[in-house]
Amino acid sequence: MAPSLTEPALEPPHMVSSTNKSAFPDGLKTSGQHPPVYARLRPYADFPKQITGPTVWRAEDYRDHPERWTHVFSDEEITELSGAADNFLASGVPLTGITRALFPLPKLGAFFSTVRNEVLNGKGFILFKGVPVEEWGLEKSAAAYLGFGSWFGYFTSQNGKGHVLGHVKDLGEDPTKKDRVRIYRTNAKQYFHTDGTDLVALLCIAKALEGGESDIVSTHHVFNTLQQSHPEVAETLATPNWYFDRKGEVSVGQDPWYRSAILFLEHAPNGGVSRVWSRLDPNNITSLTRFNSGTDARIPPLSHAQQYALEVFEETCSRLALHMILDPGDIQLLANTHVFHARTAYKDYPPGSVNEVTGKPRVRRHLMRLWLATPESEGGWRLAYHDSDEKKRGGIQVDDVTPVCPVDAE
C-alpha cells in the first residue's frame, strides 16, 4: 500500500533525514556488517577453474619494478593537496563532512579517477609517496587524507565507536583477547585478510623500530593456485557455513555473529561475467569459541576441513606475497575485493627515545586508515549483500552511533 500523505517518504537506507545532518554531516550513514543474501550465493561448481586478466598478478611481476605500482607526488601535486586541505579546514565543516565536492582537485582529480579504475578493476593496489606529514601535522594530514579518500569512495565507520578515520597503533591491548580486541590496536602479526569494505587506505605517519611491514597478494592468483593444488580448499572457502564474530559491535536485534562464505562470485541478475571476490578476517572466525564450544554452544565449531583450509590459505598467501615497506608520507591503497593483505608483528621505539639526527622525540608507529565504499552504481563490484548499491555499504555501524574523526588514536 502506498504511504499516506501524512507519512514521511521512505529514503534510501544510506541517506539520513535533513534533521540529522548535524550528526551525519555528509548526509550518509554507514550500512554495517551483514550476512549475504543467501539466494545470491553461487555454488562452487559455478566458479571458474582459472581466472585470467589484470587482476591476476605475481609478486615477481612487481618486486623489482616499483615504478609499476608507485606514484611519487610532485611538488605541484602536493601544493594542490595542501591548498585543498587548508581551504577545507578554514571552512569550519567538520572532518566527518568532507566530500569530493568540498575538496576540489582540478588537476589531481582526473589522475585519481584513472587510478581508481585501476584499483577497482586492475591489479588492485598502488603506493603513493611524498605526503609531508611531519610538516603538516596530524590535523592537516588528516584533512588532506580524507579529502584524498573522497576521490576514491565514501568513507565508512570502522568500529562501534563510529571512527571514520582509524588509527593503526599499538594501544597496549591484549591480542590474545580475540573475542573483544581488534588486532589493529595491538603490535601483533595480522594474518592475510580483507577489511570490511571495498577499499582500504593506510597513511604512514611514523614507522616502528622493527617490523610492521606489509604483504599483499592477488586474490585471483591465490584462487588459481588453490584450484590447481587444493581444489577442496577452494570449495570449502566458497561454502557459506563459516561464522564471523562481530566482536561485541552489535546493533539491537542482531546476533553477535553472522554466517557467510569467504569466496564469492559476483551477483549477476542479468547474466554477464561474474568475478570472484573475497571477504575474510581469520581473527573474526577463530574468536568464536565462547559461542561454539561447551554445553551451551549456539553455533558449530570450525570443522577439520575449515581449519585445514585456513592453514593452506595462509601458507599460500605467504608464499605468493609481494612485500613492501611503508615510510612516513606513504599511502597504500588496496581493493579488498581482489587483494589480501597482512602485516608483520612489530616493536616500537621505547618511551623517551630521541632521533639521533634531528634530536626530536621518536614517534611510535602510527598509520591513519580509511575504509572506502564504492557502490555498484559508481563502478563497485556486484556484491552478495542487500546494501550492494548503498553509498556507504559495508563498514561497521552500531545502531545510530554517529561518525567521529579523531586525528589521533583514542
Cell digits for 40? 545470491
Integer Cα distance of 276 and 222 in angstroms: 11
Integer Cα distance of 28 and 277 in angstroms: 26
Integer Cα distance of 174 and 185 in angstroms: 9
Integer Cα distance of 407 and 410 in angstroms: 9
Q: 107 CB contacts (<8 Å, ≥6 apart)?
A: 76, 77, 80
Integer Cα distance of 124 and 117 in angstroms: 9
H helix or E strand, kind and range, residue 236: helix 231-238
| CA gyration radius, the chain | 21
Residues paired with residue 168 on neighbouring β-strands, in sequence order: 367
Integer Cα distance of 406 and 94 in angstroms: 11
Buried b (16+ CB within 10 A) or exposed e, 15-43: bbeeeeeeebbbbbbbbbbbbbeeebbbe
Across the 410 residues of the chain, what is the mean pLDDT of every consecutive 10-residue run?
34 52 86 96 97 98 96 98 98 96 97 98 98 97 98 97 92 72 78 97 93 95 98 98 96 96 92 91 94 90 98 98 97 98 90 84 91 97 97 97 88
Cβ contact 203:147 at 8 Å:
no
DSSP string, 288-327: -HHHHSSTT--SPPPPHHHHHHHHHHHHHHHHHPEEE-PP
pLDDT for 8: 34
Residues paired with residue 278 on neighbouring β-strands, in sequence order: 263
pLDDT for 111: 98
Integer Cα distance of 295 and 303 in angstroms: 17
Cβ contact 168:214 at 8 Å:
no
Residues listed for the chain: 410
Residues paired with residue 34 on neighbouring β-strands, in sequence order: none
Cβ contact 308:230 at 8 Å:
no
pLDDT for 19: 43
In sign, the C-alpha dihedral spanning 276, 299, 284, 322 is: negative
Integer Cα distance of 85 and 402 in angstroms: 23
Q: What are phi and psi of 225, to 5 degrees?
A: -65, -45
Residue from 8, 12, 9, 117 nearest 392 by CA:
12
**Per-residue CA distances from 206 to 136, 172, 341, 362 (Å):** 13, 17, 20, 9
Tens of pLDDT, residue by residue over 251-271, are 999 999 999 999 999 988 777
Residue from 399, 392, 405, 400 nearest 30 by CA:
392
SS3 130: coil
